[in-house]
């Protein structure tokens, strides 16, 4: 099960090196066993990776079924809340079989984009109306199986979603009819159900608080404790909307960040997703607790959510990662570029992050947020997850290879990903997915099934 890849150019964390041989053991999780520089030609039997090879990209925040909204929710205008109504309609049509088919195609699209691990923020748990499947985790297992068939790693962030909004009533406002299939009733029942899920070679089980809107304050601690006891990643949508902040202040007299901190949710194992509408105190609180921040710029701009204070959060001590969230596009290079360019527009200054810093958010820091701390680097002992970006496409041709990082981040797109390797095994070769041969057709078929 030993395999050697020869990278024409590779980013080894500090600089771009020409001629790098990467030996890997493709058994089990698949790890890099040796990295050799100065190898001018491919060794006999090596698989050749022409272009710039990077560690595999980590998509820290995904809702796979939102892929079915692409194009639909871009018609006309509207708000986050009108977008949510369309999302509910799609969610109501999912079952384990249709979700598997859609997620398999979406994760294959991710592999084509160089993504080797995804954090799936999963809350469509039950039948429409709230009835349980024979296997209460049938929907989550469908996602885990879909990732396996698409050839990527998954962290299933099983999400507590128990209420329709913040309320002075104990237990929060009752879920509406769309949300009944998301809810386990209370956090104890949520913990009992997702406690049955198990890690495997390609999958990790984590937890999520959907938001302070969807998990009553008196049940936040149960979700946090479940994650801490298992050493599992814990994620939460945080201050994505100003309406959430206003409701939280009105009912609890504090911001969502402070409420989460008071109930033990924040900390180094936690990632806040979006972290958009924060006070200065919120930023200090998130940073001082070591809570991470996942920015999703293509979704945040698509929904007109706003530009989050990523520079200030990182400066306060919050590690940054990136996600494609609603999949308006699936392109982690675009997410990295957009984080910098959004900040340029907001501040009217340039150069907030280097290309290397943006790629660390898309690789090592994203993997760490998903519970894969041994991924995101090309070095012995790391998971053998690689992505290769073409340096000779219409977008990337011209710059010197030593400027490959800048070219990848500020010029390339997902369409320039040539090869993807996961666990030492080739998943995408020369731009073609090896186990899902026609990804566009798979996507079109799966999406059409949800519209019929």
Q: Which amino acids are annotated catalytic?
A: 274, 325
For residue 59 the two structure tokens come to 């998509």
Are 273 and 191 in contact, with CB atoms under 8 Å apart?
Answer: no
CA distances 190 to 126, 200, 226, 303, Å, are 12, 21, 10, 29
**Cβ neighbours of residue 213 closer than 8 Å, sequence gap 6 or more:** 163, 164, 165, 166, 244, 247
Q: What span, in angstroms and rounded, lies between the C-alpha atoms of 193 and 392?
A: 49
Residue with tokens 């024409």: 8
CA distances 241 to 35, 79, 87, 311, Å, are 45, 11, 17, 19
User: Within 13 Å, how many C-alpha atoms sit on residue 431's CB side?
Assistant: 11
CA distances 227 to 7, 236, 267, Å, are 38, 12, 11
Are 25 and 31 in contact, with CB atoms under 8 Å apart?
Answer: yes
Helix axes 96-112, 439-451, angle to 10 degrees: 150
What is the radius of gyration, based on Cα positions, of the chain? 21
Q: Is 131 exposed, middle or buried (0-12, 13-18, 19+ CB in 10 A)?
A: exposed
Between the CA atoms of 39, 44, 45 and 49, what dihedral angle is there, to the nearest 10 degrees? 30
Q: What span, in angstroms and rounded, lies between the C-alpha atoms of 116 and 29?
A: 12
DSSP string, 205-268: EEEEE--TTTS-HHHHHHHHHHHHHHT--EEEEES-SHHHHHHHHHHHSS-HHHHHHHTT--ST
Residue with tokens 């994760």: 107
């Amino acid at each position: 099960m030993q395999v050697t890849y020869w990278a024409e150019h590779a980013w080894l964390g500090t600089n771009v090196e020409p001629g790098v041989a990467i030996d890997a053991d493709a058994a089990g999780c698949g790890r890099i066993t040796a990295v050799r520089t100065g190898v001018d030609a491919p060794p006999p039997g090596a698989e050749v990776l022409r272009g710039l090879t990077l560690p595999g990209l980590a998509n820290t925040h995904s809702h796979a079924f939102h892929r079915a909204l692409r194009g639909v929710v871009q018609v006309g205008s509207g708000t986050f809340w009108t977008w949510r109504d369309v999302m509910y309609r799609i969610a109501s049509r999912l079952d384990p079989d249709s979700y598997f088919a859609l997620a398999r195609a979406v994760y294959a699209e991710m592999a084509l984009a160089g993504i080797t691990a995804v954090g799936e923020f999963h809350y469509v748990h039950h039948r429409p109306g709230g009835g349980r499947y024979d296997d209460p985790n049938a929907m989550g297992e469908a996602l885990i199986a879909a990732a396996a068939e698409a050839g990527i790693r998954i962290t299933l962030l099983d999400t507590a979603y128990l209420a329709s909004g913040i309320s002075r009533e104990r237990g929060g406002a009752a879920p509406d009819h769309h949300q009944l299939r998301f809810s386990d009733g209370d956090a104890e029942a949520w913990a009992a159900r997702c406690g049955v899920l198990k890690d495997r070679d390609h999958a990790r089980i984590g937890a999520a608080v959907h938001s302070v809107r969807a998990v009553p304050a008196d049940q936040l601690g149960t979700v946090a404790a479940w994650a801490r006891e298992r050493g599992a990643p814990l994620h939460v949508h945080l201050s994505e909307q100003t309406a959430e902040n206003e409701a939280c202040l009105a009912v609890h007299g504090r911001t969502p960040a402070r409420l989460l901190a008071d109930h033990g949710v924040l900390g180094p194992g936690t990632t806040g997703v979006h972290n958009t509408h924060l006070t200065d105190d919120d930023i200090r609180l998130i940073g001082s607790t070591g809570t991470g921040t996942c920015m999703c710029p293509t979704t945040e701009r698509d929904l007109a959510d706003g530009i989050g204070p990523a520079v200030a959060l990182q400066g306060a001590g919050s590690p940054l990662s990136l996600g494609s969230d609603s999949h308006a596009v699936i392109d982690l290079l675009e997410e990295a570029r957009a984080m910098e360019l959004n900040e340029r527009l907001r501040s009217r200054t340039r150069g907030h992050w280097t290309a290397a810093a943006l790629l660390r958010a898309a690789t090592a820091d994203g993997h760490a947020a998903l519970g894969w701390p041994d991924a995101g680097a090309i070095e012995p002992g790391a998971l053998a997850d690689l992505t290769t970006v073409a340096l000779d496409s219409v977008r990337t041709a011209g710059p010197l290879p030593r400027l490959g990082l800048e070219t990848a981040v500020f010029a390339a797109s997902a369409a320039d990903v040539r090869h993807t390797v996961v666990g030492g095994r080739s998943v995408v070769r020369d731009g073609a997915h090896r186990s899902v041969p026609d990804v566009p057709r798979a996507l079109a078929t799966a999406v059409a099934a949800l519209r019929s």
